[in-house]
Structure 1
Amino acid sequence: MKAVQELRLTLPHIELAAHAFGPEDGQPVLALHGWLDNANSFARLAPRLHGLRIVALDMAGHGFSDHRPAGASYALWDYAHDVLQAAEQLGWERFALLGHSLGAIVATLVAGAVPERIERVVLIDGIVPPNPLPHDPVARMGLALREQLALGRKRKTVHPTLERAIEARMKGHVAVSREASELLGERSLMPVPGGFTWRSDSRLMLSSPVRLSEEQALAFARAIECPAQLIIAQDGRLAQEAELLGRLPWAPVFLPGGHHLHLNDEAGADLVADCINRFFAVP
Structure 2
Amino acid sequence: MAVDPSTVDPRSVDPIVCLHGITSSHTTWGGLVLATKPHGVDPHCLTLLGHGPLGARRRVDGYSLEAFVADVMAQINRLGLERFQLVGHSLGAHLASIIAESFPQRISRLVLEELPVPARSRADSGPVRHRWSGLAIKVGALSGCRRFDPVMVSRVLDQLGTPRPGWWQGLARITMPVLMIGGGTTSYLDQDRLSLVAAELPDARLIRIDGGHRVHITREAEFLARVVPFLLQPDQL
TM-score (norm 2): 0.72
Find out whether 1:224 has 2:174 as its counterpart: yes
Contact residue 21 and residue 90 of structure 2 kept, 8 A: yes
Q: For the Cα contact (< 8 Å) 2:13–2:232, is it kept in 1?
A: no
Correspondence for 1:259 among 183, 206, 213 = 213
Matching residue of 1:200:
148
75, 100, 111: which one aligns with 1:111: 100
Residue 191 of structure 2 aligns to which amino acid in structure 1?
A
Larger Rg, first or second structure (1 or 2): 1
Instruction: Give the SS at the match of 1:204.
Output: helix
TM-score (norm 1): 0.61
Q: Percent identity?
A: 26
- Quote the Cα distance in structure 2 between the aligned partners of 1:53 and 1:262: 17
Amino acid corresponding to residue 209 of structure 2 in structure 1: L
Q: Which amino acid aligns with 1:253?
A: I
- Tell me the CA shift for residue 102 of structure 1: 0.3
Higher RCO by CA contacts (8 Å cutoff, separation 6 or greater): 2
- Moved >4 Å (runs of 4+): 23-26, 130-135, 208-212
User: Tell me, which stretches of 5 or more residues in structure 2 are unaligned?
Assistant: 1-9, 125-135
Question: Structure 1 residues 239 and 210 mapped into 2: Cα distance closer, same or farther (>3 Å)?
Answer: closer
> What's the CA shift for 1:95?
1.0
State the one-letter code of the partner of 1:199. Answer: R
Matches within 5 A, 1:84-233: 84-126=73-115, 128-129=117-118, 133=122, 173=137, 198-207=146-155, 213-233=163-183
State the alpha-carbon separation in 2 of the partners of residues 56 and 242 from structure 1: 24
The residue number in structure 2 matching 1:272 is 223
User: What is the deviation of 1:282?
Assistant: 4.0
Unaligned runs of 5+ in 1: 1-22, 136-171, 175-187, 190-196
Residue 40 of structure 1 corresponds to which residue in structure 2? 27
Deviation, 1:114, is 1.0
Aligned mates of 2:11, 2:62 — CA distance in 1 = 33
* Aligned position for 2:127: none
Structure having the larger proportion of residues in helix:
2
Which amino acid in structure 1 is aligned with residue 227 of structure 2? I
Q: CA deviation at 1:133?
A: 5.0
Distance between the aligned counterparts of 2:47 and 2:221, measured in 1? 23
Question: Does the 8 Å CA contact 1:108/1:127 hold for their aligned counterparts?
Answer: no
Give aligned pairs, total. 200
CA contact (8 A) 1:101 1:127 kept: yes
